[in-house]
Amino acid sequence: MTSVRPSTQSPRSSSASRSKASPLPKDLLTVADIPRNKIGDLIKLAKKLKAAHGKTRPTFPLKGKTLGLIFEKPSTRTRVSFEAGMNQLGGQALFLASEKIQLSRGESLADTAKVLSRYVDGLVVRTFDQSALEEWARYTSIPVINGLTDHCHPCQALADLLTIVEKKGRAKGLKLAYIGDGNNITHSLLEIGAKVGMHVSVGCPPGYEPDSTIVKQARADGAQTGARIEITHDPMIAARQADAIYTDVWISMGQEEESQARMAAFAPYQVNSQLLKQAKPNAVVLHCLPAHRGEEITAEVLDGPQSVVLDQAENRLHVQKAILLEWLGK
C-alpha cells in the first residue's frame, strides 16, 4: 500500500454553494481530502439527484463539459456509472483505456496530463498505485477524481454512506462491521466513518490489517465526531451488534499470485448466516461487487432480504453525479 501525501494544490471553487471556510480541493483523491461538512453536502445532493432521476424534467448543468476516463484496471460499475452520470447531466464522457493511448508507447504521464488538460474538463483515473494518481493530479490543471487505486476508493465509500443513510436514516452513532481484507475499500470506509461519527469495526486475519497510518488518522478524527474505530482478528466480535455488515472479495486485481494463501487465511471470515446472527436483527448487508458467492459471502446472505447490494451499486451513479457537479460544475 502506498501512503497518501497531503494535497499541495490550490483549492478550486466550482460551485456557488461551497463554503469559503472549507472549500473542496482541486482533486478528489481520498475521502480524507473532503472537508467533513462537505461530505454531508455531497450526500444531500446525491439524494436530491436520485429523487429527481426519471421523475422531473431533466436539466443539463454540465452541457458542453467533457470527462475523460483513464482506466488501467477493468471496470463495470465505475465506468458505466460515470459515463451514464455525465450523459444525464448533459456532458459527455470519453473512455481512454491506458493501453490505447500514447502512454502505452512511452509518452510521459506528465505530458499526457498537460495535453488532456487542454481537451477535457476533468479526469477519472482508475489505476494501481496511489502515487500514479497523485502524479496525474500534480500535472493537470483540471480536477482529477479517484476511480479506484490499490490504496483507496472514495467514490465507493460515498455511495456506501448514501446507502446506509437511506436504509437507516442516519450514519452517526451506527456501527459498520467490515469483514475481510484491510484493503482500499476498508481504508475509505475508515476515513468516511470517522468523519461522520459512524463506528467502524474491522475483522481481518493477522497480517491483513488496514494501513496503520489510516487507522491512526481515523481514530483521531473519530475522537472529534464520537466514532469508535476497532481492528480485531475475530470476525464475530467485529460483527457483534452491527447495524451494517460489509465485505469484499478476498483476492483483488493484481493479487492473483496470492490466491492460495489468501483463500486459506480468509476462510474463517466468510459473511454467512452464522456471522449475520451476531449483528442486529435489522442489519443491512453491503458488498461493493463483484461478489464471489461461496467465498467471502454466501449466496443465502448476498441474495437474502437483508442485502442492499443492488441499491448500493445504483448509488454509485447518484453520488458520482453529485461529485461531477461539485468538481466540474461552475
Residue numbers annotated as active site: 126, 153, 156, 248, 288, 316
CA distances from 86 to 17, 81, 94, 127 (A): 20, 8, 10, 20
Q: Which helix (H) or strand (E) holds 260?
A: helix 259-266
The residues, ordered by sequence, that sit 6+ positions from 157 with a Cβ below 8 Å of its Cβ are 31, 185, 188, 189, 191, 192
Contact in structure between 39 and 188 (CB atoms under 8 Å): no
Rounded distance between C-alpha atoms, residue 141 and residue 134, angstroms: 13
SS3 for 216-251 is HHHHHHHHHHCCCEEEECCHHHHHCCCCEEEECCCC
Rounded distance between C-alpha atoms, residue 125 and residue 68, angstroms: 8
Cis peptide before 290 (omega within 30 of 0): yes
- According to DSSP, residue 144 is labeled E
Sheet holding 92-97, edge to edge: 92-97, 66-71, 122-126, 144-148
DSSP 87-141: HHTT-EEEEEEGGGSGGGGT--HHHHHHHHHHH-SEEEEE-S-HHHHHHHHHH-S
